[in-house]
A = this chain, B = another copy of it.
Amino acid sequence: MTATGARPTTPTLDEVAVLAGVSRATVSRVVNDSPRVSPEARRAVEEAVATLRYVPNRAARSLVTRRTDTIALVLSESNTQVFSDPFFASIVRGLSERLADTDLNLVLLAARGESEQEKIGRYVRQGHVDGVILMSLHSDDLLPDILAGAHVPVVLSGRPLDGRPVAYVDADNAGGAAAATRHLLSLGRRRIATITGPLDMVAGLDRLAGYRAALADAAPPGVPELVAEGDFTEAGGLRAMTRLLAEAPDLDAVFVASDPMAVGALQALRAAGRRVPEDVAVVGFDDAAVAATCDPPLTTVAQPLGEMTSLMVELLLDQIEAGERAVGTRVCGTTLVRRASA
């Protein structure tokens, strides 16, 4: 995807046919290794190909248009994490649906380790995709720098942690977390804990900030912060809830920064003999499928994923069409979905 002022013209199949003195179909057959070609015609075509430096390959032709009609969803997570987290699945599904009616292909590349992320960078630099949607940034991530060096349009899913100028689409994580916390306050709860996401990720940090802001702005004096860090997995939610119960046995509510963690928290509460919502009210985040089916069904914060994936594609296509990177950003509002758990 490197740019140059003088774009070389690529010889066409027709030019090869004229020089070789054969039909277009014959050139095509030679190029595609068909057996239905005489040795003489084959030799004539091969000479014309060599003379014209004709590159019989769509990858080469795509250099002229500079388009592969393919965008990559790059996830800086291990495949294990990608395939066990329903949020990633929702994003992939949303992007697939958004692209289904277009000529655009979606390829998925996922890696957390440095050498594997370098491999992704190489693939993108080699021009195999027109643009990248990059997801799940940790603060130590190399991918933003790797992709910046690849001169390819990029849209981040989630605000960049370091504030670099880059296009992104995000949910109003802080606003959603504050709404969840205010809802727990409105139920009369006064010992409200939170289980955060990883605090090297924007979604982890912003949801914690929203919880804190709501306690600071809307709580009566003396309502404390009770914080345990989780990792967005069910097992992590179970562990964090167990820690919170040990540290603050009188807690009466918990805002959990993802639904899989909330499912783990429900297990820990059940194991400790606490009733939900009578003893402890629980609010999750994401409105994953499990939120409606777990016991009790989860009150949670929904992100408009369909809208968000559409906006990511739109911001990316804008850059691809314009042939330059741009810094549009969109932040989408969230909705509190009330069910039985709070």
Contacts and interface: CB of A to CB of B under 8 A. Distances in A.
A120 B105 contact: yes
A49 B9 CA distance: 10
Interface string A100-138: 100111111111010110011011011110000000000
Given A4-B31, A56-B2, A59-B59, A109 B109 contact: no
Interface residues of A, number: 66
- Give the number of times this chain occurs in the complex, counting copies: 2
A62 interface: yes
A230 to B, nearest CB: 20
Contact of A4 (B33, B78, B108, B151): B33
A172 B54 CA distance: 47
A132 to B, nearest CB: 12
Contacts of A105: 109, 119-120, 122-123
| Chain A binding surface SS class | mixed
Contacts of A47: 6
A59 B54 contact: no
A55 B63 contact: yes
24 contacts: A1-B57, A2-B31, A2-B32, A3-B33, A4-B30, A4-B33, A4-B56, A6-B47, A8-B53, A10-B53, A53-B53, A57-B127, A58-B122, A59-B59, A68-B128, A69-B119, A69-B122, A70-B123, A83-B83, A84-B89, A96-B110, A96-B111, A105-B123, A128-B128
